[in-house]
């Protein structure tokens, strides 16, 4: 009986602590065209609050960012790009 109560309490705690993780795909201006651009974006944006992962794709010239929507917004992420002299445009937003 104690084990069942413990498991129920654990399940409730997990649901209460669930994070609102979202994904946004961005294009940059100037376009990301080399490994140096990728490095600059990744090295600077990883310190922005709420960002969980940053993936870049040189073929499509996009940046895919997973972020915690409880801690940041797409507008704040775009502001992070402005700090490093890039303008980011949203291509697609998805909820996980």
Per-residue model confidence as pLDDT tens for the chain (96 residues): 777 665 666 666 555 556 789 999 999 999 988 999 999 999 999 989 999 999 999 999 999 999 999 999 999 999 999 999 999 999 976 655
**Beta partners for 67?**
22, 51
Query: For the whole model, what pTM was predicted?
Result: 0.76
**Beta partners for 45?**
none
Between CA 65 and CA 24 the distance in angstroms is 5
50 Cα distance to chain centroid: 7
What is the three-class DSSP state of 26? strand
DSSP E strands in 6-68: the ranges are: 21-29, 51-57, 62-68
Q: What is the pLDDT of residue 30?
A: 94
Token pair 């940041």 is at which residue?
72
């Amino acid at each position: 009986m104690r084990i069942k109560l413990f498991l129920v309490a654990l399940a409730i705690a997990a649901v209460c602590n669930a994070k609102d993780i979202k994904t946004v795909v961005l294009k940059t201006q100037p376009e990301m065209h080399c490994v140096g651009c990728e490095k600059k974006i990744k090295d600077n944006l990883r310190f922005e609050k709420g960002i969980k992962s940053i993936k870049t794709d040189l073929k499509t010239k996009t940046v895919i960012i997973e972020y915690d929507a409880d801690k940041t917004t797409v507008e704040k992420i775009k502001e992070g790009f402005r700090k490093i002299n890039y303008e980011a445009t949203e291509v697609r937003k998805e909820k996980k």
